[in-house]
Each structure stands twice: as structure tokens, then as C-alpha cells.
Structure 1
Amino acid sequence: MSDYVPPTVLPREVLERPEMQAALSQHDFGTVFLLARREAGISYSRIAAACDIKPERVGTLARGRGRITTFEKIALIADVFRIPGHMVGLAARAWEAAAAEADDDMRRREFLKVSVSAAAGAGLAAGLPEPVHLAAGRRLGADAPEQLRQRTARLRGLDEILGGGDTYRVYLDEYQRTRATVRHAVCTEPVRRGLLSVLAEQAQQAGWAAFDGGRHAEARGLYEASHKAAGEAGDAGLAGNALAFLAYQALGSDRQAAIEIAARSCATAGPDAAPGVRALLFERLAWAYAVAGNAALAESSLETARTALDEAAGTPQPDWSAWVDSTELAIMTGRCWTELRRPLRAVPVLEKALEAYDDRHARDKALYMSWLADSYLAAGEVEQAAAVTGRALDLSAGVASVRPRQRLEPVLRQLGGHRTLPMVAELLEKALA
């Protein structure tokens, strides 16, 4: 299913010690193991499990008896300990480029957090779009809704990198500013409806950030406000999407009500909605059915979503639904099969989709990996479940979203029954830390 090797990472300060560098240059891995235990607290049993070496041989090597000389084993040890290739006479390892990119992503995320924090309430910060100034009391032109919609689309990009805990205030301020504009606008009726449509879109954006940050009451209020504004605007697609958000939120408390709301969201948008919108709403209906345990209706809804997505190819779609593509639909399919306890169907779909999923979308990838880990456990693949869970924990570290950890907690509890496995014990220690 996967050949992922969980790293037993040596801290940089340990790698930079003169005796460690000397041992690495001479391929003296016995000394490397000795220093790993003494300086980094990595037990010989963990080293043995990660490097595929018998525990007794690790101890023998650490006592200065014997050598490791095969290229394959040297490369494996370098990958497990995250030792750069040049330190052991190898070309740069594949993970080195990924690690550098991850560092860049983390720095980018931290930069955006600072920018977003500075932008809250003002709408101004490096890397963020300029606010749209619509003077109160002045007649608004026909282009006013489109100006606001373009800014809203650009701000939506923050959600691809940051969690709701970071973006909520910015999105809420945008919504409140537009709401004040609508209240005092001097404009034609078509312009007013356009402004209400943007308002509905912004309320959904703020509601999603609230939900992601654990502010469930605020999220519900914003979704309801969005539904009302979309109805006044005559925007059936956005009205349907507001209901889909409400259904998604209701799944945790009333599954039957969630199904009914999700079905109403599809009916509200109607058959004339943009194909991408229909794909989005029907995949969310499929999710509601899957959580409720109805495999037949979940699969039927997924098929409807696929048909709609095929129609969407090459045609303009609303920006708020444009993120739904074949990869996202595949992930939703895998999530549904996981909830329906069909791991043999879920695992291949999720593995293939996640291979193409960029680590920069750390929150979403961590969330999706939680379903993959869940399916591995259902299939009895405990080590694979632990490896994927560890990766998900790494990805979600520092992301201001409550959802990855909430999704991973049940997986970690199940893994607790396998703590005698060194790999699982290490993961549980990491999770506690």
C-alpha cells in the first residue's frame, strides 16, 4: 500500500557535533547509533525498528564491532535519521528538497499570519489585496459588486494556507464592511442584488473560518445570514451552498436533519446551477449519507457529482466553487468509503489522490490523511496507520485549525491499543508532546 519510512530524526545540533560528523564521514554507524542514543535519546530498539536491523546487532555496532557497508543500508539509515546525503558521501536525498520546501511553506505561513493579524480591522497588509473603498451616501456604479467580488476571491486564497483561527477576523471584517455598505447604498436594484450576493459569499467565507477555528455558534449564525442574503439576491447557487454548510455542521448532532438540509441545498441550487456548484453540493450530500451509513445513496450522489464535474470542464465557474476538481472529488469518495467501513475501496483512492496533493495545503492534507489512517486501521494495517497519522500531525503543526486534531484523536485512541509496537509508542509520545 505504501513504503513510507517514518524518520527517527537526529536534531541538527546533534548532527553538527564534531564527533558525529567524523563518524558519518567514515561510515562509522556504530558511533552514530551510540551518539543518537546518548545525545538525542533515541533508543536502540527504535533505531533497530526504523533501520531494519536486528536489535542485538545495533548494540554490537555501538560497541565498535562490525561495520555497515552496503549502499542500500547506508541510504536507508540516512533517510531514517534525516542525514543530508553529502554527510555520508551520497547525492542529495529525495526528502531534502521536500524538507526545504516545507521550511519555505512554514516561513510563508508565519509571514501570512503576521500579515493577516496586522490586516484585521484595516484590510491592509503586505501580500493582501487593497480594500475596496465605497463612499457612504454616494451612488454606487454597476461595477461595485464586481470590485468587491474580486477582492473576496483574492482573500479566499488565505484559506489554502492558514487556518480559521488566523483568518476569521479578516473575513468577518470584510463581511461587516460590506453589510454596512449594503445598508447605506444608493444604487439601482441590480447593483443592490449584486452586493447582497457578495455579502452572502463573504458570510460563508467568515462562517467557514469560524467553524475551522472552533467557533461553531458564530459559524451557524453566519451561514444563516448568508442564506438570507443569497435569497434576497436571487442567487440560488449561493443559497444552496449556505444550506450545505449548515448540513455539514449539523452532522455532528443530528444526522437525519443534516441529510434533509443537504438534500434541500441541492434542490435550492437546482439543475440550472453551474456544474461546479452542483458537483460541490452533491458531494456534500454524499458525505451526509455516508456518515449516516447509507452506502447506496452516498454512491449515487457521488456519481451525480462526477457527472456534473465532467460538465464543468472548460466552462467558467464561480470562484467559491472552483476548488472542487477531480482530486477533491476523489478524496471525498475515499472519505465516504472510510466512513462506510470499506477500507479496501477507500485506501487506493485516498493514496492516489494524496500523492498529488500539495503539502502547502497543510490543514486540508492533514485532515484527508486522517481518513486514510482510519481506513488503514480498519484494514488491520497498524504500522501504516501510525506512519500516516504521524505525517498528518507534522503537517498540521502550527496551523490554526481545530479540525485536524479532532479528526486524529479517535485514530490515536485506537492506536493506543497497539502501543507495544515501537513505531506506535513513538507516535503516541509525539502526540502527547
Structure 2
Amino acid sequence: MAARPTKQPNEALTYWIERAGISNAALARLVNHRAEMAGIHGLRTHEGRVRAWRAGQAPTDPIPQFLAEILSERTGLMLTCADLGLPARTIPMTTGPAMAWQPAPTVAAIAHLTRSEMMAPHSRDHEEARAVNVGDDLLLPLHRWATATPSTLAAHGRGRIGASDVEGIRAVTTMFRDADNRHGGILSRRAVIAQMADANTLLETATYDEETGRSLFAAVADLGSVAGWMTFDSGMHHRAQQIFITALHAASEAGDRALGAHILQCMARQMSHLGHYQEALDLVSLAEYGARGDATPATRAMLASLRARFHAILGQVQDSERAAGTAQDLFAAVDPGAEPEHMAFFDHAELCATIGVVHQIAAKSDTGPGRHRRAGASLDLLHDARRLRPEHRVRSAAFDSIGLARTHLVVGEVDAALAETQHALGIFHSIGSPRVGDRLDELHDEARHFQSSQAGGELCELLSTALAS
């Protein structure tokens, strides 16, 4: 009778446990805690089982993934199950629209996304962009946001956190927002993802009361909105959508519907950028409905302005004009000092830019005498937007110039379009934003209609050179 093969000690697991400076008993407690946070209530690991794993016994799912996450946090390195000599996770991690509206799946999904976040930037023409959820696959699960109620929050782990810890996360979020505005999403994207992982660890492991827990979920949600926006700006559309969805779940657990509406409008802008205009309009409608009793004046004005833009793109001119008027009326009631930090971007300049683009879109489809009138209104508003832009809104200034160039082309003013394009390219070369490159590509397509003229040919050549570099 053949002898049963002897288990080989798992030297890799032992090495990383010792490098993390954690005892077998402490590791067992952390595995149990992580299982509870993931909604797995029957898992009871103890010190003897950790010794058995080190001796070569293979732990059952989902323990290998829990071990990889815990030891990654303790060592500061991105460790996989394979690094620990363990089988990879076989239970799928849900990070899409159908994720449950509960704290544990939200925390687990954020942890999964932030720890697997090492991808190269893409564009909206890449396969990764085509992997985004659209239509009912996106919208039906998200409609539960409008009626989801926050769970009872009370966490008991190592270390107690309070208001100062939450304020620290908010301060970091403000810093990353500023970096995004000044330099584009690529430069700081990985740093904000790492910060999101650190903040999410507090949700997983710290002790906090109900009030602090809600504030912490809100802070993580807002940080997630910045992480999603930077990822979107970097051209990583599927990953950006996943981050937005998890941030929306965190905002729901915080009971912050105004913040949820902000995240939905980010998602709507992404859908529009990818050409899914009806989904963009539906997301705005969901934001308006879900935050109807909590939205600030700036939030309502912003959503109305986006509604105007998406109606215009869909050729619904009268609906667009009504929504634009509503946005301008609502903005008159905005008190910047009373608005949350995440709404600071929607100032007078942003309102002018959005409505200016609405008039530009309407001018393109107007074949009558109203074309020049609409184009004139667009130019006036876009010039106002550029004049009013705060200095740190560098990427927005590039969009203003691109918008002006596109409006000039609508009425055949090619020399003016060339001048605005040169200004936009000066900014484009100083920031890391594939999204700006996508807008320049759209401008290039529109400029081809004028390439037979000297200025049109120069414009096309200028854009071709810039986009090829």
C-alpha cells in the first residue's frame, strides 16, 4: 500500500506572517473579523488552524483572500494568494450595480477594488470602455438607491476613531480634488486609490459609534467620488464605474443623499462621454428623484444643467431649453458658503460652461437662421466661463477653449477656432487627462470639414500632431 504523501510546510505563508509581525492568534482573530464584515457569520478560525495552514493545510474559501488582504495591509505590499502559497479565491466578488445595499458588501467591494488597482490607462475606444454596464443592467439595480435605508452601524475593532479622523480624510479628499483640477487624473490616481484603501480599513477594523460611522462612510464615499473621477479622466471607464458604484453604496450607508446625487451625476457625465446619452439622462433623473428632499440649490441647478445638455444631445430642444432656464433660476439661490465641499466645483463659471455647450449643441442641429443666434449665445457663455474660472481649474479651462473652438466651427469661423485650439493645446500638454484628448479628437473630426482652407488645414495638422504624440 502506497504511503500517503506528507504535507509540505507553507514556507511562503510563514515568511509573510513573520514579516508582518503578527501572531497566529492575532491573525485568526483578524480573519474572523473580516469574515463578519463580509457577512460570513459561521467562520470561526483559531490559532491551531493558523498553525495547520503554516504546516501545509490549505484553508477553504474565502480564507486565502482574507489572508492576502490582511498581510498586504500589515506589510504595505500588494500580496496575492499565490504569494502566500495559497489557492486563489474562487468565490466571485460583486462590485457591479447588483451589489447588495448593506455595509459589509460595500466595505468588501471597496477593499477588492483598491487592492486590485494596478491597471494602465486606456481610452473610450478600448475594450475596457466597452465593458461598462449600460441600459437596464446599470439602471435597474441603481434605482434601489432611491429607497435604500442606511443600516445600523456599530463597529468594534482595534483602535477607536472619532471626528478628527474623519476630518483628516476630508482634508485629504480636498487636496486630491485640487490636484485633479490642476493636473488631470493620471498623476494622482493611484495615490487617491491607496488613500481610499486606508480609509476603508477604518471601516473594516476600527471602533466607532453610529454617528461617527455615518460620517466615516460619507468621507469614504466622497473620497471614492474623487477616485472614480480621476479614473474616468484617465480613460479607465469600467474601473471608474465600479468605483462610482461602491462610492454610491457608501453614501447610502452614510444616509447622505445629496452626496449620492453628486456621485450619480459623475456617472451620468461618464455615460455621456461614452455616447450612452439616454443612460446619462436616466441617471440624472434618478439623482433628482432620490435626493429630492436633500439636494442643495447648487445640486439642483447642476442636475438641471446636465438635463439640459443631455436633452440637447438627444435632439429634444424644447426640453433642453426649459431645463437650462430652470438651472439658471435655481443657481440664483446658491450660497457657496452653505454648499458641501463636493459641490464647490459648480460655480458660476461651470454653469456658464454647461449652458454654453447646450447652446452649441442646439446650434449644430439648427439649419435655419437661429444657428448664428444660438452660436452667439454659446460663445458669450463660454467666454464668461473662461473669464470666471478660478486659476486652479486648469483642466476646465482647456475644456472652455475646446468648447469655444467647436462653437466657432459651427458657424465657419475657422481662424477663431484655430486660435482657441492653440490655447487648449497649450494646456493639454501640461496635464495628464486622456478625457481632454478625447474632446480634442472630436474637434479634429469637426475640423476635417474645413481642411481644404488654409486655416482648416493648419487646424487639422495641429490636432493630428498633438493627438499622435
Tell me the alpha carbon deviations over residues 56-112 of structure 1, each in whole angstroms, 9 at most, x when there is no partner: xxxxxxxxxxxxxxxxxxxxxxxxxxxxxxxxxxxxxxxxxxxxxxxxxxxxxxxxx
Tell me the alpha carbon deviations over residues 224-243 of structure 1, each in whole angstroms, 9 at most, x when there is no partner: 00111111110001111122
Within the candidate set 266, 270, 283, 2:288 is matched to 266
Instruction: Supply the distance in 1 between the matched residues of 2:341 and 2:215 (Cα, whole angstroms).
Output: 15
Instruction: Supply the distance in 1 between the matched residues of 2:390 and 2:346 (Cα, whole angstroms).
Output: 15
Instruction: Supply the distance in 2 between the matched residues of 1:152 and 1:351 (Cα, whole angstroms).
Output: 30
Query: How much does 1:204 deviate?
Result: 0.6
Match of 1:208 in 2: 229
Query: How much does 1:372 deviate?
Result: 1.4
Query: How much does 1:402 deviate?
Result: 0.8
Taking a change above 3 Å as real, the CA distance of residues 282 and 271 of structure 1, as seen in their structure-2 partners, is: farther
Q: Which amino acid aligns with 2:326?
A: T
| Bigger Cα displacement from structure 2, 369-378 vs 220-229 | 369-378
Instruction: Supply the distance in 2 between the matched residues of 1:255 and 1:417 (Cα, whole angstroms).
Output: 25
Instruction: Supply the distance in 2 between the matched residues of 1:363 and 1:151 (Cα, whole angstroms).
Output: 20
The percentage of counterpart residues that share the same residue type is 26
Within the candidate set 280, 283, 304, 1:282 is matched to 304
Tell me the alpha carbon deviations over residues 120-157 of structure 1, each in whole angstroms, 9 at most, x when there is no partner: 99xxxxxxxxxxxxx97112124332232123223321
Match of 1:310 in 2: 332
Q: Which structure 1 segments of 5+ residues have no match? A: 1-119, 122-134
Instruction: Supply the distance in 2 between the matched residues of 1:178 and 1:427 (Cα, whole angstroms).
Output: 46
Within the candidate set 328, 341, 355, 2:387 is matched to 355
Query: How much does 1:297 deviate?
Result: 2.3
Match of 2:160 in 1: 139
Instruction: Supply the distance in 1 between the matched residues of 2:231 and 2:427 (Cα, whole angstroms).
Output: 21
Match of 1:299 in 2: 321
Taking a change above 3 Å as real, the CA distance of residues 150 and 358 of structure 1, as seen in their structure-2 partners, is: closer
Match of 1:406 in 2: 438
Q: Which amino acid aligns with 1:162?
A: H
Query: How much does 1:369 deviate?
Result: 1.7
Query: How much does 1:282 deviate?
Result: 2.4
Within the candidate set 195, 205, 212, 1:174 is matched to 195
Within the candidate set 144, 161, 165, 2:182 is matched to 161
Taking a change above 3 Å as real, the CA distance of residues 358 and 257 of structure 1, as seen in their structure-2 partners, is: closer
Instruction: Supply the distance in 2 between the matched residues of 1:325 and 1:380 (Cα, whole angstroms).
Output: 31
Taking a change above 3 Å as real, the CA distance of residues 314 and 331 of structure 1, as seen in their structure-2 partners, is: closer
Cα RMSD after superposing both structures: 2.3
Match status 1:379 vs 2:411: yes
Tell me the alpha carbon deviations over residues 176-215 of structure 1, each in whole angstroms, 9 at most, x when there is no partner: 1111111112110111111000111011100000010101
Q: How does 1:8-407 map to 2 (within 5 A)?
A: 137-251=158-272, 252-313=274-335, 315-341=337-363, 342-357=374-389, 361-407=393-439
Query: How much does 1:351 deviate?
Result: 2.0
Query: Matched residue pairs, number?
Result: 301
Query: How much does 1:417 deviate?
Result: 3.6
Instruction: Supply the distance in 1 between the matched residues of 2:287 and 2:208 (Cα, whole angstroms).
Output: 30
Tell me the alpha carbon deviations over residues 386-418 of structure 1, each in whole angstroms, 9 at most, x when there is no partner: 221122112211311012221122322332343
What TM-score comes out, normalization by structure 1 length?
Answer: 0.65
Instruction: Supply the distance in 2 between the matched residues of 1:377 and 1:323 (Cα, whole angstroms).
Output: 28
What TM-score comes out, normalization by structure 2 length?
Answer: 0.60
Tell me the alpha carbon deviations over residues 256-288 of structure 1, each in whole angstroms, 9 at most, x when there is no partner: 222111111111121432222222232222222
